[in-house]
């Protein structure tokens, strides 16, 4: 039995629709994964999150290791109990923090020493430790420890990161002991096609449950990102899920689905929501603007989210202006629902064999 079954293929691109089966249920792909870094999606209850249409959510190994600690998560019943989420969960390995916390890290061929961003405590992570921690946290999908590089990045550093990522993936596979979990490898290589080819080819030989394209959305721009994702996807198995990490805008997602990617995660829906910026079919809506003061319209006509069915633009603007926490919550809810509605449209277009035409119209 395979954990990933492709049901629909687009005739005009390499896009596909599939079902990913996990220990906590099925996930229809292409799928967008909201981020609950420290065990919660900021400002949103699990019930509200389900109402947006979210199925698979993400938590982060590094952050849960710091607080509350893996022993505490285990004592509380594992990451599903911690997050009150009875659906699938994915944990990132901490590799992205090598990039995002680069000023607090020391890297060598064996692993990484972090100075905690909370109190400066020294923490050491390598592929085996990161895998064992994720085994104990109990997520349905876990990630190999990898080295995410910045952009731009000199060739020597990029090559070293690729070789470490391959070596660490081998260590992760050897250390992985929880058969209820799927283990995904992460492909690095910046925007260098030869390094991406090499990294993908070596990791595919190791036969992981899925493959992620990492090290993008770090400043390389939309065109480089999609070109690199499309190139990398060509070297990945047809019968395994492909996950583009940390991406992105609606346009990024549609273009990457065309390139054959199945899974996405990004902080944009909630981060923008907390900053009064809403996603709509017509583009961004900045709700602090004076133009919305007396506006009785919802953020988006036709949206079925709790925010749009109950609150006006003018009301939401007022909440932000007086520092009422309901403002960020409402726009985050709308944005999360916007993303899940987008993914549902993508999946429906694939089922109807209309994706190429639909995507071209959307990307305009």
CB 162 within 8 A of CB 199: yes
Percent of the chain with pLDDT over 70: 99
Sign, CA torsion 94/100/103/107: positive
Q: How far apart are CA 46 and CA 53, in angstroms?
A: 11
What mean pLDDT do residues 14-25 have?
98
Q: Quote the pLDDT of residue 252.
A: 98
Q: Quote the pLDDT of residue 37.
A: 95
What mean pLDDT do residues 340-356 have?
98
- The rounded mean pLDDT for the chain is 96
Q: Quote the pLDDT of residue 100.
A: 84
Angle at 207 between CA 7 and CA 141, to 5 degrees: 65
Number of helices (H), then strands (E), belonging to the chain: the values are 15, 16
What is the per-residue pLDDT across 150-198, written as a single tens digit (0 to 9) for each?
999 999 999 999 999 999 999 999 999 999 999 999 999 999 999 999 9
Is the confidence at residue 68, as pLDDT, over 80? yes
Write the DSSP string, 298-337.
Answer: -SSTT--SHHHHH--HHHHHHHHHTT-THHHHHHHHHHHH
What is the per-residue pLDDT across 109-151, written as a single tens digit (0 to 9) for each?
999 998 888 899 999 999 999 999 999 999 999 999 999 999 9
Cβ contacts of 64 within 8 Å, gap of 6 or more: 38, 39, 70, 73, 79, 91, 137
What is the per-residue pLDDT across 215-240, written as a single tens digit (0 to 9) for each?
999 999 999 999 999 999 999 999 99
Total Cβ atoms within 10 A of residue 263: 26
Is the confidence at residue 2, as pLDDT, over 80? no
Q: How far apart are CA 273 and CA 267, in angstroms?
A: 10
Catalytic machinery residues: 92, 265
Q: Quote the pLDDT of residue 130.
A: 97
CA dihedral 284, 226, 58, 166 (to 10 degrees): -160
What is the per-residue pLDDT across 231-275, written as a single tens digit (0 to 9) for each?
999 999 999 999 999 999 999 999 999 999 999 999 999 999 999
What is the per-residue pLDDT across 292-335, written as a single tens digit (0 to 9) for each?
999 999 999 999 999 999 999 999 999 999 999 999 999 999 99
Q: How far apart are CA 87 and CA 54, in angstroms?
A: 9
Is the confidence at residue 1, as pLDDT, over 80? no
Q: Quote the pLDDT of residue 298.
A: 98
Is the confidence at residue 290, as pLDDT, over 70? yes
Q: Could you tell me the domains of the chain?
A: 4-265 (3.20.20.105), 273-333 (no CATH)
CA dihedral 63, 65, 68, 70 (to 10 degrees): 140
Q: Quote the pLDDT of residue 222.
A: 97
Helix (H) or strand (E) segment spanning residue 115: strand 111-115
| 200: exposed, middle or buried (Cβ count in 10 Å: 0-12, 13-18, 19+) | buried
Cβ contacts of 111 within 8 Å, gap of 6 or more: 124, 125, 126, 127, 129, 145, 168
Look up the pTM and report it. 0.97
Q: Quote the pLDDT of residue 364.
A: 86
Alpha-helical regions (H) of 206-305: 222-233, 250-258, 268-274
């Amino acid at each position: 039995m395979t954990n990933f079954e492709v049901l629909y293929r687009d005739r005009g691109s390499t896009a596909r629709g599939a079902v990913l089966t996990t220990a906590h249920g099925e996930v229809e792909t292409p799928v967008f994964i909201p981020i609950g870094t420290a065990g919660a999606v900021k400002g949103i209850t699990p019930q509200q999150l389900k109402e947006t249409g979210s199925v698979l959510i993400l938590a982060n190994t590094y952050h849960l290791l710091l607080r509350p600690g893996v022993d505490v998560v285990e004592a509380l019943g594992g990451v599903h109990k911690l997050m009150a989420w009875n659906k699938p969960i994915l944990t990132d390995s901490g590799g992205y923090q090598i990039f995002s916390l680069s000023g607090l890290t020391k890297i060598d061929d064996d692993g990484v020493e972090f100075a905690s961003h909370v109190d400066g405590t020294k923490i050491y992570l390598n592929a085996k430790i990161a895998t064992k921690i994720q085994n104990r946290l109990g997520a349905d999908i876990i990630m190999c420890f990898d080295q995410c590089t910045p952009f731009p990045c000199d060739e020597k550093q990029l090559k070293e990161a690729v070789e470490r990522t391959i070596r660490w993936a081998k260590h992760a596979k050897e250390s992985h002991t929880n058969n209820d979990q799927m283990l995904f490898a992460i492909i690095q290589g910046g925007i260098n096609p030869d390094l991406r080819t090499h990294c993908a080819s070596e990791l595919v030989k190791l036969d992981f449950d899925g493959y992620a394209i990492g090290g993008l959305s770090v400043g390389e721009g939309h065109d480089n990102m999609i070109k690199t994702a499309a190139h990398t996807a060509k070297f990945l198995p047809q019968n395994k899920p492909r996950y583009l990490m940390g991406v992105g805008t609606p346009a990024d997602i549609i273009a990457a689905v065309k390139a054959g990617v199945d899974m996405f995660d990004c902080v944009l829906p909630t981060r923008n929501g907390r900053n009064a910026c809403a996603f709509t079919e017509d583009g961004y809506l900045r709700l602090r603007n004076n133009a919305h003061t007396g506006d009785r319209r919802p953020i988006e006509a036709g949206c079925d989210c709790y925010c749009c069915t109950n609150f006006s633009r003018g009301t939401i603007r007022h909440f932000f202006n007086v520092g009422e926490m309901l403002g960020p919550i409402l726009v985050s809810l709308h944005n999360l629902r916007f993303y899940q509605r987008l993914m549902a449209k993508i999946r429906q277009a694939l089922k109807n064999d209309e994706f190429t035409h639909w995507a071209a119209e959307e990307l305009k």
